[in-house]
Structure 1
């Protein structure tokens, strides 16, 4: 098969194994153009001017200008019984055996249809406490995470991919220290990303060198010992909690930082900030995220993702006149918002509760990919002040355009059902929007509660001929990439970065562009500053891995997370190569040993 849109063999492999529509022996998508037509026609079917919107949808899909989430590309317009949502945060796990295994079943059904899952395990009582109903002793949340891990290893999700999971635990749960150490054995919980839900109170206690209380709700039984009132996961109001242990806040923080430094996990989620900045603060409480952390969600919430491919909007690359077509990016954004909004109405849902939650908020997560390649083609070094300004300008354009586009759809189709004009406009993030946007929300409402998120976009970026993924820097100029096939076996491809390949096609040499820089040539602070530069224009969150050299000083590493908090980020993830997670011997191993967020088999593409 010859397809002019694929300039790299790995891109064709990704399409054929993940996104090309075939059923049994019948192949429906002869070319990638057929895939684009399938997506465009299905998502335009409900529009009154169907042909017009079909043409517009096809135009932004064409040549990979807009990359819908992988589940959309694989499932829309097919006969497969799958969900079009990349990931879900599952419902609250009841603290009872029957409820726990009901939750496990719901997770398996969700993963079977292609959705990754996120969980807050904080509702499960700590190890060693009495399970009063049967007189047995509780084994704690980490023990049940192993059950989920085994389930995930068994369930083969749609196509050439396996399910991804996020496990989160409150920083004041009595088993938090066990949770922090849970992945220090390389054989355990390999299907999980794990993150600690870090509260503002913990950060304050760390700064003041105070004690930190580990607590858990009392429940119906009478408890001896100290009891205090505390907000808790799944509880609508403060509940009595028993104090199980006092630790020094700095010692707990040190354990989190040491584990992350030595084992690359857990990540941290600044959960109070997530809730304070949630546009739906008035009707939901968030306790977990999707597996890669870019979409904080309430129980039963889902990710509806897509990325604007910035490499398709660069004019005169590598020349003195090189610039981004911001008008083109804005125009594509408006169409992409409508495309993603229509996904909600045609998708299957593994569970009725998920359908209800998704339809009530109509969240979408529009982001970017190819940023690092665009910077190279603009001759702007990643991490420089100019690169931060460029990234911020792009995200500001996408954010404000997306909100206006959602308002326009609301004028036509109505706002999302949970919209409360007064409370929505009082939200912290919404108050940061331009006055004209807020005035239009007041007048017409808005179709989608949330509109922006930065996903890893690893697999779809490979599909788009190996562009740099998300807002990450280029991994390297030339390397070997290993990808999973439909038969469960791996194939290896020699790949060249998109911008480098473009440069070499002009220079007829193996040289590197003047502004080329790879992930490990950047300082960890450079990574952090890029994430912080665009967070003000992302109403959800950002998936970003901070690459840390092996010989990086631990004190400086620990300060990175403090900086992340002070810079207003919603979470932080770092990867430092080390003997525990794998000695780095080659570029291919370096890519594949990164255990948090950036492994393609872990990404819910």
Structure 2
């Protein structure tokens, strides 16, 4: 029997709307569209014959029984109509179809009648769906829309959406997504449920094919478009192709709405919105990963009453317009800025993305303060923290001037409780003022290593002890003088003082610090200073490393290289770094240092030939520096000291991200001489172009106010300032590569002739969130794992290394077994012996790379940077000796700062393939141990006694698990 389908019934009916032309008694038929037509009995016969054929097969055509029965039934139907209207009249098409069904049932032809009924119902749904604009309705599933009405599921639109989402992605299947999604739908599903089913289906496929993350993002875009376009009254929904027409309309409506809501700067309406709308590139939406787009939706898009009415390209244009407000040709500059952002060649920092173009344009990332030793000043500083944090600024506080516990308070003749109680207030303020609800408030307290409260400061993040003297939510960092490190190397004693007894130490560094410090030690020895403590430098170093391992804090940062290499040492002192340890700017009671951040996406500057595109990099850096300089004049300053400092010195911090991705595209392992060399050469180019761009801006706009007397004015560039550090520290305590490839002689002359627009130009921030947006590796970080689940405020996301998958596919090694193997080994390739050694080395993860390589690469970058870099250190099989060697090496290689320590205990559980049949292609061995690190050439002693003893009690520290992983970098900067 031929299957009963809508197709063959449609053939059988020959369009039931045409069941007429001529009829006895001049009967006429009212069609569904209201038109009148003549009745034609032959159409009834034809319809019934085709219905029989549809049910019984083509053989029914030759059946005399069928022909006779059809003639008989047709005549019965005609007679019934004639009896009803003997003088002629009108019939509705539905009446005729009712009589056909009734005649078939009376004749006992239930199967044919039932098929005819089903066809009529399906055809009725089809007509209703077509009236609603649904070209291909699902036969059984309806969708509940926001107005509460149910409409047929539009299969045609779903297929179009999914096919659009797969455009340009050869390794994905639109059909699989549609088919699998339909299995998870039910009749009456909410409209959002359809979108969710499509996205969830695509998400589950990411671990097998990374390109599905782009598919998922593009499906998410459908939700975003529906929400924004309907709110802006442009359209109820739109496909990607339709956005070419809708984006310009949405952009103009968005600007009007944003200004009306009091969210957007009214000056945006003064732009040529038609010109800017025409410049929007809808295709740029297709480059988002799912994590990147979801992050934008959750935290960046402007919203009104919980409705996001900002779309991705609109957001980038809003940011670009905000940065171009003061430009002469605002539209041209806005388009230039937009193109850089939307292409992911460069990304502005999170505060700039949050606030550019809004009524409160707080665009800066970092604020550094010095807290004076005065009660009013202390609480003013805490108030400043709150105001700066409110508008998404990350904070670094220098607390070294605060007198130590036990020191005399002249006003009350009492004794101080030291710095710790105030830090508890700072901690709670950061929790209370959570950056407008967009993310956690974040602050880092810095204290110099000679401060008498340093030992208690080291314990602030412990989970034991008096909780009133603990700060569980804030970050802490040691501000370490070179003299202390030298005494650790030489195993000498160290003296702790209260700042009110040694007030000038706070502002001294290098040999001047050494001379003053030794003089104070002599005074203490002679009894002239009463409040002090002498300890072995190695014992304090041991405690610093122990607390760093146990609590992750305080971070270790180095005072002298930050100051000796600072271009601005003629007008102040660097007293601390910032929240993420990449900013090194002067602070004082009158100046709160401000830095404005953005990052070049390095992998976007690797061309198709697998080479660094130098010309493109130069163009990107030039535009980026201009954007950063514009921030300074447009920026909203929550406190006057920040405005004073920023307008006077105009510092910016251009960094990089996607470094690991760039290495993958170049086919270079991170842990290799070639990787270190690429770190050197790529940063040299960024440095060269950034300095030149700032100098060219000075020729156009004028130098910054305090340029005269700076290292820039003396022709001393960052690469040259290394010599000053060597001279003060001594050759025996530093080893830094000083090779170069660019024409630095020319650039020195140019800087001295034209000046500099910015006191500081470079800093490498963590880029935690903006890297997610761009879908690349964070900052200068190695890959955490090749396959893991990333957790952040936007949810959990499967992250897989697409470069690894591509290389394994090329070797015909990518299959279900490989996926399971990599998941079993927590994203590591090292235990999987069927993978070639070269590939395993290329895709070694953060804990599989010896920290030596991280430090070496950072040292090569640091020589080109006038500020610092956020450098996380990953140490597997942690031991006292390894910690000691790593941090001594960081200092010895000339680094200014270090950031988080990520440590895996020496006895972390290792996995093998015993009794696991699914891993039959993998050798039954545990993961190999990482190779031993190469010790620096400086005289490095064994780990201070006691560190290993401490670590033995903690050797089973659990590694960060994949599903638990949050942002490894702090979001406050980027």
TM-score of the two chains, using structure 1 as the length reference: 0.89
1-side partners of 2:704 and 2:314: how far apart? 32
Do 2:650 and 2:758's aligned partners in 1 also have CA atoms closer than 8 Å? yes
2-side partners of 1:308 and 1:464: how far apart? 11
How far 1:580 sits from its partner (Å)?
Answer: 9.7
1:119-518 matches, cutoff 5 A:
119-185=397-463, 188-218=470-500, 230-233=504-507, 242=529, 244-299=532-587, 300-316=592-608, 321-420=609-708, 424-426=712-714, 427=716, 429=718, 431=720, 434-465=744-775, 467-485=776-794, 491-497=795-801, 499-500=803-804, 509=814, 514=839, 515-518=842-845
1-side partners of 2:308 and 2:289: how far apart? 22
1-side partners of 2:319 and 2:493: how far apart? 55
Q: Which residue matches 1:8? A: 289
Moved more, 274-283 or 237-246: 237-246
Moved more, 55-64 or 472-481: 55-64
Q: Which residue matches 2:365? A: 86
Do 2:361 and 2:634's aligned partners in 1 also have CA atoms closer than 8 Å? no
Q: Which residue matches 1:488? A: none
1-side partners of 2:710 and 2:361: how far apart? 37
Deviations along 1:19-58, whole A, 9 cap, x unmatched? 212344564522x111111122221232223333222212
Report the 3-state secondary structure (helix = DSSP H, G, I; strand = E; otherwise coil) of the residue aligned with 2:654: strand
Aligned CA distance change for structure 1 residues 543 and 411 (closer, same or farther; 3 Å): same
Do 1:126 and 1:141's aligned partners in 2 also have CA atoms closer than 8 Å? yes
Report the 3-state secondary structure (helix = DSSP H, G, I; strand = E; otherwise coil) of the residue aligned with 1:158: helix
Aligned residues: 577
1-side partners of 2:867 and 2:956: how far apart? 30
Aligned CA distance change for structure 1 residues 309 and 498 (closer, same or farther; 3 Å): farther
2-side partners of 1:543 and 1:244: how far apart? 33
As a proportion of its length, which structure holds more helix? 2
How far 1:87 sits from its partner (Å)?
Answer: 1.5
Deviations along 1:308-358, whole A, 9 cap, x unmatched? 112222223xxxx42221221111011100011111111101101101101
1-side partners of 2:601 and 2:614: how far apart? 12
Specify which of 848, 860, 866 is matched with residue 539 of structure 1. Answer: 866
Q: Which residue matches 1:34? A: 314
Do 2:712 and 2:752's aligned partners in 1 also have CA atoms closer than 8 Å? no
Aligned CA distance change for structure 1 residues 177 and 63 (closer, same or farther; 3 Å): same
Aligned CA distance change for structure 1 residues 157 and 370 (closer, same or farther; 3 Å): same
Do 1:276 and 1:428's aligned partners in 2 also have CA atoms closer than 8 Å? no
Do 2:402 and 2:499's aligned partners in 1 also have CA atoms closer than 8 Å? no
Q: Which residue matches 2:951? A: none
Specify which of 866, 878, 881 is matched with residue 555 of structure 1. Answer: 881
Deviations along 1:466-507, whole A, 9 cap, x unmatched? x1100000111121111215xxxxx22222235446668988
Q: Which residue matches 1:50? A: 330
Aligned CA distance change for structure 1 residues 46 and 218 (closer, same or farther; 3 Å): closer
Aligned CA distance change for structure 1 residues 234 and 349 (closer, same or farther; 3 Å): farther
Aligned CA distance change for structure 1 residues 585 and 541 (closer, same or farther; 3 Å): closer
How far 1:520 sits from its partner (Å)?
Answer: 1.1
As a proportion of its length, which structure holds more strand? 1
Aligned CA distance change for structure 1 residues 464 and 585 (closer, same or farther; 3 Å): closer
Report the 3-state secondary structure (helix = DSSP H, G, I; strand = E; otherwise coil) of the residue aligned with 1:185: coil
2-side partners of 1:418 and 1:581: how far apart? 53
Do 1:172 and 1:213's aligned partners in 2 also have CA atoms closer than 8 Å? yes
Moved more, 62-71 or 133-142: 133-142
Do 1:450 and 1:540's aligned partners in 2 also have CA atoms closer than 8 Å? yes
Report the 3-state secondary structure (helix = DSSP H, G, I; strand = E; otherwise coil) of the residue aligned with 2:506: coil
Do 1:280 and 1:449's aligned partners in 2 also have CA atoms closer than 8 Å? yes
- Stretches of structure 1 that go unaligned for 5 or more consecutive residues are 220-227, 486-490
1-side partners of 2:375 and 2:956: how far apart? 33
2-side partners of 1:27 and 1:522: how far apart? 42
Q: Which residue matches 2:961? A: 586
Deviations along 1:205-256, whole A, 9 cap, x unmatched? 222222211112446xxxxxxxx78422599997996451111112112221
Deviations along 1:360-385, whole A, 9 cap, x unmatched? 11111111100101111211111211
Q: Which residue matches 2:342? A: 62
Q: Which residue matches 2:151? A: none
Do 1:388 and 1:533's aligned partners in 2 also have CA atoms closer than 8 Å? yes
Specify which of 547, 564, 581 is matched with residue 890 of structure 2. Answer: 564
Q: Which residue matches 1:100? A: 378
Moved more, 261-270 or 58-67: 261-270
Report the 3-state secondary structure (helix = DSSP H, G, I; strand = E; otherwise coil) of the residue aligned with 1:104: helix
2-side partners of 1:448 and 1:127: how far apart? 40
Aligned CA distance change for structure 1 residues 504 and 189 (closer, same or farther; 3 Å): farther
Q: Which residue matches 2:300? A: 19
Higher RCO structure (Cα 8 Å, ≥6 apart): 1
Do 1:119 and 1:288's aligned partners in 2 also have CA atoms closer than 8 Å? yes
How far 1:599 sits from its partner (Å)?
Answer: 4.5
Deviations along 1:143-192, whole A, 9 cap, x unmatched? 21111111111112035311211111011101111111222227742322
Q: Which residue matches 1:77? A: 357
Do 2:568 and 2:586's aligned partners in 1 also have CA atoms closer than 8 Å? no
Aligned CA distance change for structure 1 residues 178 and 330 (closer, same or farther; 3 Å): same
1-side partners of 2:845 and 2:881: how far apart? 24
Do 1:182 and 1:189's aligned partners in 2 also have CA atoms closer than 8 Å? yes
Aligned CA distance change for structure 1 residues 101 and 261 (closer, same or farther; 3 Å): same
1-side partners of 2:760 and 2:666: how far apart? 31
2-side partners of 1:27 and 1:66: how far apart? 24
How far 1:89 sits from its partner (Å)?
Answer: 0.6
2-side partners of 1:98 and 1:140: how far apart? 15
Report the 3-state secondary structure (helix = DSSP H, G, I; strand = E; otherwise coil) of the residue aligned with 1:105: helix
How far 1:67 sits from its partner (Å)?
Answer: 0.8
Moved more, 337-346 or 123-132: 123-132
Do 1:475 and 1:518's aligned partners in 2 also have CA atoms closer than 8 Å? yes
1-side partners of 2:325 and 2:809: how far apart? 41
